[in-house]
Structure 1
C-alpha cells in the first residue's frame, strides 16, 4: 500500500509539473511589488475592523489592507500603497470609505473602486488610532509623535491639531514632570483621551483644548494599558505590578478592583459594544490567555482555552455575543463570548514572520519556517498539495498547511536530495530543554518529515517519521534590539534574535550547529556528534563548501575573523581577518552601538572558489577561498546584511538585510545587477530555485516573495 501511495504521489506531482504555470488563488498575485511573481503569506496582522453592516472584515497587515467576506472567509480585495506596514483601520458609518494609517500618513479609500481618495499627511510618527465620527465627515487620529489631529474627510484638510502637552514653557515643564506617555485611549464621540505614565498616574484631557480635566492617582507602577467604555463613562487601567481597576470617569473614583494583576505586556483590553463585558488578553506572563469578564460582578464569564499564539488584534461585533481575534499563528478566528468556544476560522495565512527557507531539489515545493512552525507551498500553483487535518495549525481550505513542532525554535530547514523528506534542526532554550525517560537531557532535535505519504481519502503530505535528540548544548544566540533605517527612510527598532545557528552540508548527511562553547558537527542520520571544533565565541554565520569538506565560520562581537575548518579532522585550515580593528576596539565599538564590521552572513559559490561575507555595516566582501585574497567590496546596503545566496550556476549573488531590500550582484565582477523592493521588515533568508530563475525571500513581516530574476540573467 505504501508503494502504491508513493507512486500515486509521484504521478500527481509529475502531472502538476506538466501543467502551465498558474496560481490557484488569485490573491497570491494581488498588489505585487515590481519583479515579484507571487506572494506566499499575507503579512502579520496589526489591526481588525468590521464594516458597519458586519459583512466585511478589514485586516491591517504588513502587506496592506485585506478585505474578507465575514460569512465565507473569501478574500475580497487587497489595498496596497502605504509606505510601510498598515496599522489601524476604520470604516465610515455608511461603509463606503475606509481609513488606514501607517508611518506619517493616512489613506482614505473608496471601497467601491478600491482607489485612494485622499492622502492625509501631518503626523511625524506611527499612526496609533483612527476613527471616523458618526457623521462620516470628520476623522480623528492619534500618533506616536504625541499629537491628536482632526481631519475633514471630504477635502482631506487638517482641521486642528493638539499635542499631548500644550505649547510653551508650561508644556515643556509638564513633559519633564510627567515623563513618557506609556498608554493611551481615545473616546471619539466625547472627544477626550486618557494618558498613562510610568509613575502610575492617569490624566484625562480634553481633545479640543488639550487641558487636563482630571488626574487619577492610586496606582503604584507603570501604566501599561488603558481603555474607555463605549459610553465614555468608565475607564479600565492595567498596571504592571498592581491590580487592574475600573474607574468612574466623571468623579475619578475607583469603582472596582480586579482580583489579580494581568501583567499587561503584550496583552490587550477591549469592551464589548454594550460595555457589559471586558475582554482581557494577558501578556507573556499569562501565556496570552484571553478571558471574558463581567464588568458588574468583576468575575470571569468564560475564557479561550485553546493556544493560538499571541493575540495581535481584537474587534467585537455589535451583537456583543462574539469576538474576532487575529493572532500570531496567522489566523483570524470568531469566538463565542459566552463560552469561549471557537465558532469558525475566518482567514489564515497571516504569519507573524518567516525566518527560514528551503526549495525542494525538484523545485516543486518551497518550505518556510519561523519559531516552531513550518509551511509548504506548491511553487507552481501556490496551493498545498494535500490537506493535513490532524496537524494543529492546519486550516481546511487554506492555501497552506502547517507543521507544529513540539520543541524549540527552528534553526534550519532542508529537503532530502530526492525531495521525499524535509529535515528541520530545532533548538531548546536552556530552560526549555527536556529530559528523556533514561535521564538524558535533550538540547535540541533533528526531525525528519516524510513527503507524499497517505491514502487518497485522507491524504497527508507530511508525516513525522523520526526524531533524533541532540544532547550537546546548543547556544541561544543573541537577543538585542538595534535601530535600523529602512529603504523607505523609516527608522525602526529591530529585535535581533537568534535561538541558535545550524547549517547543512549539501549532501544532507552532516550539519554544523553552534553550541555555547563549541561548534559541533553532527551526523544527520544518527544524531551523533562527529566532531567538536574549538569555538572562539560569538559565531554569527556558517557555510559549507558544496563538497562538504570545508566549513567556514564567522565570529561575532569578540572577533573580526572568518575561520576555515577541515570537516574530516576538525582542524582549522586558515582564517581571514575582515577588518583591521583589534579585538578591544572591536568590542568597544560594539558597546557604543557603532558598526563593527562583524560578519553576519556567509555563502560559498557552488564551485567553492569564492566566499561572500556580509557585515553589520552593510558591506559585502568577496574573497578568493584558496588564497584568502579580497576580490571586491560591494556597497549598497545601509545596515546589517543578514542573508547571502549564490545562484546555482554561481553567476549571481543575492543579498538582503535589515532595511528590507534585496540586491543582486554579478559574482565575477561585483557589478550590481538590480534591486528588489517589497518587504516591510528584516529579510532573514534568501533561496534560489534549483533552475536559478526564481529567488525566494523570507522576512519578519510574515511574507515570502517569489522573484523573477530571469531579467537579470545575461543571455
Structure 2
C-alpha cells in the first residue's frame, strides 16, 4: 500500500473572512478559507483548494489583471505571492502589521497596500527582472487613522484611499504638477468604500452609516500634467451629494461591504442584517434589493461582465453567487458554521456525509467538492453519520434524542428512531445487511436497537456503567462491539438477544472501536493514547500501539500544563493492513498493524490562528504576572470564560482549537478524509495534471509554442509544450499535428519526453472525443517504445496464455465432436477474437514485452 497521500481538497468550508475575487474571465471565484484559498469554477461546477498555506488566516487577496499571480495577506501581515498556474508560493514578504486592502493597478504594473495609516505602492512582481519580487515604489502619507479601502483609476495614474478618519484622499501614482494629494471630507463615519468612475476622476465614497457622496472633478484623466515646477496650478474638485443611501440615524443597519462595477455603473452595498442593494450610478436609482442571510455580508465582488455578484458571509460560512438580471443563484454553498464532528464515505466512494454541531447533515460530491443536499431536521449537534450498504440512505444520530434516516433519492427524512425515555445519542452504526440500526446513549449508558424496515425498537442492551462512546458491527459475523467510558468493550449478539457475549477489559476509557474490513480483528482506542488490537472470536488481545508521542504535544494559550492527548477516532484501511488514527491534535498518524509501528504522520494545518498549535510554552509571552494569555488586556483580547469550547455569544474571547474529530478511509483506499477545525480535509494518492515545468527558459512561452506550431515545426512545438506542461497547450499542439507525421515525430522523440507523452495519451484517451486519433498515437508509441511497458509484462503474459489455452481447448473440442476443418477454424476464430484484433507486429510486441 502506498502512503504518499497529499492534500487534495478542502470541503465543508467555503468562506471564512477576507475579500472575494473573480478571475479575469469571470468564470471562477477565489475565496479565502482559513489560511488557504479555494477556487470555485462556476462554469465546470468544481471546487479546488490550493495547496498553499499561510501562517495565519488570510484576510485579503489581490489578483493580477492577467490572472496568473495573486497576493494573499494573513492576519499578521505576512504576504504570499502565489502562482495561480502552478499553485505554488513564489515569494513571501512580511508587512509586520495587519493589512486591510490590496489591489493591483489595471495595467498590472503596480499594486497598492493599505498598512496602518499609510499606503505602500510596490512594483508588480514579474514586470521587471528583480531578484526581490516586492520592490517598494513609494510610501504615501496623510490619513490620521487606519486606511480601509482603495481603488485605482482606469489608466492607473491615480488611486483613492478611504480611512477610518472619515476622509477620502486621492493620490497621484506618478508625480503630477496638478495632483499631489487631495483630501475630501463630508462623512460622519468611517469610509466603507471609495470608487472612481470609468475613465474619469469622478469619485463615489460610501460611509459605514449609509451615506453616499458623489465627487465631481473638473480635471479629466488626460488633464493630469507631469511634474515640471512646484508652483503649477493644483487640481480643483467640487462636491455634489445626491442623497443618502439608507438615511442617517438609529434603526438602520450598518454597511459592511461594497462593490462597484465601472462599466455598467452598478453599485452594490451589503449591510449588517444580510440585505444588499443594487443602485445605478450616478442617478442612484434602486434596481434591486434582497435579503440573502441573517448575518452581515462581509465581502462583495462583481465579475468582469457585471452579471454575477459574489457575496461572502463569514458568520455562517456562506458563499453565494447571484445573477441579478435573472434573479437566480449561480452558486449557493454553506459549510458547517460550527464544529464538524463526523464523516463517512458512501460505499462507492463518490459521496461524503458530514455532521456538525449546527445540527445539519450535509452530503458532498467528492469529485466536484460541492454540497448537493443539506438535511436540517435535527435540533442539536450531530454525533454520528453512516451510509447503508447500497449508499441510498444516510443515517445520523444527534444529541436531540433521535436517529434519523434520509433518502438520497427523494431528499427527505423518511424514518425517525426514538427511545422510550429521552436521551442523548453519542454514536451510531448499522449492520451489513442494513436491517438493524444501533445507537449508544450518553446519559442512560444503554444501546438501542431498531428495525430499519418498521422503525420499531427491538431491544435495549444494558450493561455498560458509563457513556457509550463508539459502536461497530462486524462485517462478517453477527457481532456488535461497543466501547464505553467504563473501560470496557462489550461484544453483543444482537440477533440472539442473549446479552453481552464477551467483555474486554481496557486499561483506560474507550474512545473508539472499529472492526477490520474482514471482521477478523477489532481495534480499540483508549484515553491513555493506546490502540489495542483484539481477536473477537477468542476475546484475546493480539497487539497494541503506544501513540502518546506520535500524536504530538500541544498547549493552548491559557493552559499552564500540556493537556493529555489521545486518539479519538480510528479507522482501518481498505486492505486492513493499516489503521488511521487522530485526535485532539494537528497530527494524523498511519500505523502498520502487522509491525505495530508508525508509517507516516500528517500535519493537517500550520495555521497559528488556531489554539493548541504550540508544542511548548512560548517564553516570549511570559510576563511578571504570568502568561500574557492569562491576563486581561485593554485591546479586546479578553480571557475567555471558563469551560468555553466553541464560539457563542457569552464568551468574551474565543479562539478555535485545532483538532481532528473523525477520520475515514475511502472504500478504494486511494484517499482518506478527516473532519478538522478547518473543515473536511481530503488527502489523496491521485493527483491531477498540474503545471510542472522542467528545463524552462525565458523564451519558452505559450505564444512561442503556437508560433512554432504554425510554422509546421511539429516536433519542436510538441517538446516545448511538454516543457511548459500545460494540459490545454499540449492538447492544442497534438491535435494540430497531421496523422502522417505522427510516426516520424515519435521515432525521433527524445527519451525524456516519451514517458510524459505516454502519460498524457493514457489520460486523454479516457475523456477525449477523438478516440481514433489518440489510439494512433498510442499504437505508434507502443511500436517504437514498447520495452518501456515492462511493468505490464505479467498482465500481457497472462492475456497471451489465456488466448493459447482457449485456442487449445476449442481445437480439442472440435476434434472430439468431428467438426470439419472449416467449422473448427470458425470456432477457433471466435475464441481468438481478441488476439486477431491485434496485428502481427502488435503480437510480436506483446511477446517481446513478456
User: Normalising TM by the smaller chain, what interval?
Assistant: 0.5 to 0.7
Q: Deviations over 1:553-579 (max 9, x none)?
A: 4xxxxxxx968789969xx9989678x
1:542 to 460, 465, 469: 469
Q: Helix, strand or coil: the match of 1:634?
A: coil
**Structure-2 change in CA distance of 1:632 and 1:157 (3 Å):** closer
**What is residue 91 of structure 2 aligned with on the other side?**
119
**Structure-2 change in CA distance of 1:43 and 1:653 (3 Å):** same
**What is residue 620 of structure 1 aligned with on the other side?**
529
d(CA) in 2 for partners of 1:602, 1:545: 9
Contact preservation (8 Å) 1:185, 1:228: yes
Contact preservation (8 Å) 2:426, 2:470: no
1:44 to 14, 18, 21: 14
**What is residue 35 of structure 1 aligned with on the other side?**
5
Unaligned 5+ segments in structure 2 are 174-180, 216-236, 474-478, 493-498, 555-564, 608-657, 687-850
Q: Quote how far apart the aligned CAs of 1:415 are.
A: 1.8
Is 2:432 the counterpart of 1:510? no
**What is residue 103 of structure 2 aligned with on the other side?**
131
**What is residue 281 of structure 1 aligned with on the other side?**
270
Contact preservation (8 Å) 2:20, 2:300: yes
2:665 to 675, 688, 698: 688
Q: Deviations over 1:156-205 (max 9, x none)?
A: 23316869999xxxxxxx9xxx8xx7x82234455554444xxxx75667
Is 2:585 the counterpart of 1:611? no
d(CA) in 2 for partners of 1:120, 1:74: 31
Q: Deviations over 1:378-409 (max 9, x none)?
A: x7xx47xxxxxxxxxxxxxx976324334445
d(CA) in 1 for partners of 2:661, 2:579: 16
2:80 to 106, 110, 115: 106
d(CA) in 2 for partners of 1:573, 1:641: 20
**What is residue 582 of structure 2 aligned with on the other side?**
656
d(CA) in 1 for partners of 2:121, 2:465: 58
**What is residue 496 of structure 1 aligned with on the other side?**
none
Contact preservation (8 Å) 1:79, 1:114: no
d(CA) in 2 for partners of 1:504, 1:262: 47
Q: Deviations over 1:492-519 (max 9, x none)?
A: xxxxxxxxx731145352212446xx66
**Structure-2 change in CA distance of 1:141 and 1:527 (3 Å):** farther
**Structure-2 change in CA distance of 1:57 and 1:544 (3 Å):** closer
1:465 to 414, 422, 425: 414
Is 2:551 the counterpart of 1:551? no
d(CA) in 2 for partners of 1:206, 1:563: 71
Q: Helix, strand or coil: the match of 2:262?
A: coil
Q: Deviations over 1:228-270 (max 9, x none)?
A: 24458444333xxxx54446789999963725656559x6333
Higher helix share: 2
Contact preservation (8 Å) 2:23, 2:67: no
2:396 to 411, 414, 424: 424
Is 2:289 the counterpart of 1:303? yes
Is 2:142 the counterpart of 1:184? no
d(CA) in 2 for partners of 1:563, 1:212: 75
d(CA) in 1 for partners of 2:302, 2:246: 22
Q: Quote how far apart the aligned CAs of 1:79 are.
A: 5.9
1:290 to 276, 282, 298: 276
Q: Quote how far apart the aligned CAs of 1:316 are.
A: 1.8
**What is residue 227 of structure 1 aligned with on the other side?**
193
2:322 to 334, 356, 362: 334
1:645 to 535, 549, 570: 570
d(CA) in 2 for partners of 1:542, 1:212: 66
**Structure-2 change in CA distance of 1:474 and 1:128 (3 Å):** farther
2:403 to 425, 446, 455: 446
Larger radius of gyration: 2
Q: Helix, strand or coil: the match of 2:330?
A: strand
Contact preservation (8 Å) 2:469, 2:483: yes
**Structure-2 change in CA distance of 1:315 and 1:562 (3 Å):** farther
Q: Helix, strand or coil: the match of 2:106?
A: coil
Q: Helix, strand or coil: the match of 1:654?
A: strand
**Structure-2 change in CA distance of 1:227 and 1:666 (3 Å):** same
d(CA) in 2 for partners of 1:117, 1:621: 38
Q: Helix, strand or coil: the match of 2:20?
A: strand
d(CA) in 2 for partners of 1:293, 1:524: 57
Structure showing greater relative contact order (alpha-carbon pairs closer than 8 Å, 6 or more residues apart)? 1
d(CA) in 1 for partners of 2:532, 2:665: 21
Is 2:359 the counterpart of 1:374? no
**Structure-2 change in CA distance of 1:678 and 1:544 (3 Å):** closer
Q: Quote how far apart the aligned CAs of 1:674 are.
A: 0.2
Contact preservation (8 Å) 2:340, 2:676: yes
Q: Quote how far apart the aligned CAs of 1:543 are.
A: 1.9
d(CA) in 1 for partners of 2:347, 2:118: 53
d(CA) in 1 for partners of 2:245, 2:63: 34
Q: How does 1:28-177 map to 2 (within 5 A)?
A: 35-36=5-6, 39=9, 41=11, 44-45=14-15, 47-51=19-23, 54-62=25-33, 64=37, 66=39, 68=41, 72-73=43-44, 80-83=51-54, 88-93=60-65, 95=66, 97-103=68-74, 104-107=78-81, 109=83, 114=86, 118-124=90-96, 128-142=100-114, 148-153=119-124, 154=127, 155=130, 156-159=133-136
**Structure-2 change in CA distance of 1:573 and 1:58 (3 Å):** closer
Q: Helix, strand or coil: the match of 2:244?
A: strand
Q: Deviations over 1:321-363 (max 9, x none)?
A: 65234677876533216x7x11x52697988896532134576
Contact preservation (8 Å) 1:90, 1:100: yes
**Structure-2 change in CA distance of 1:237 and 1:471 (3 Å):** farther
Q: Quote how far apart the aligned CAs of 1:138 are.
A: 1.0
2:591 to 665, 685, 703: 665
d(CA) in 2 for partners of 1:519, 1:292: 56
Q: Quote how far apart the aligned CAs of 1:422 are.
A: 1.8
Q: Quote how far apart the aligned CAs of 1:423 are.
A: 0.8
Q: If the length of structure 2 is used for normalisation, what is the TM-score?
A: 0.50
Is 2:225 the counterpart of 1:236? no
1:635 to 521, 528, 549: 549
Q: Helix, strand or coil: the match of 2:108?
A: coil
2:600 to 658, 674, 679: 674
Is 2:675 the counterpart of 1:698? yes
Q: Deviations over 1:14-35 (max 9, x none)?
A: xxxxxxxxxxxxxxxxxxx951
**What is residue 269 of structure 1 aligned with on the other side?**
258
Q: Quote how far apart the aligned CAs of 1:445 are.
A: 4.0
**Structure-2 change in CA distance of 1:461 and 1:218 (3 Å):** closer
d(CA) in 1 for partners of 2:421, 2:487: 24
Q: Deviations over 1:95-120 (max 9, x none)?
A: 364323143233254x7x65769525
**Structure-2 change in CA distance of 1:134 and 1:631 (3 Å):** closer
**Structure-2 change in CA distance of 1:213 and 1:37 (3 Å):** closer
**Structure-2 change in CA distance of 1:350 and 1:413 (3 Å):** closer
**Structure-2 change in CA distance of 1:65 and 1:574 (3 Å):** closer
Q: If the length of structure 1 is used for normalisation, what is the TM-score?
A: 0.57
**What is residue 557 of structure 2 aligned with on the other side?**
none
Query: Is 303-312 or 316-325 further displaced after alignment?
Result: 303-312
Unaligned 5+ segments in structure 1 are 1-32, 167-173, 384-397, 428-442, 452-459, 476-500, 554-560, 579-598, 710-715
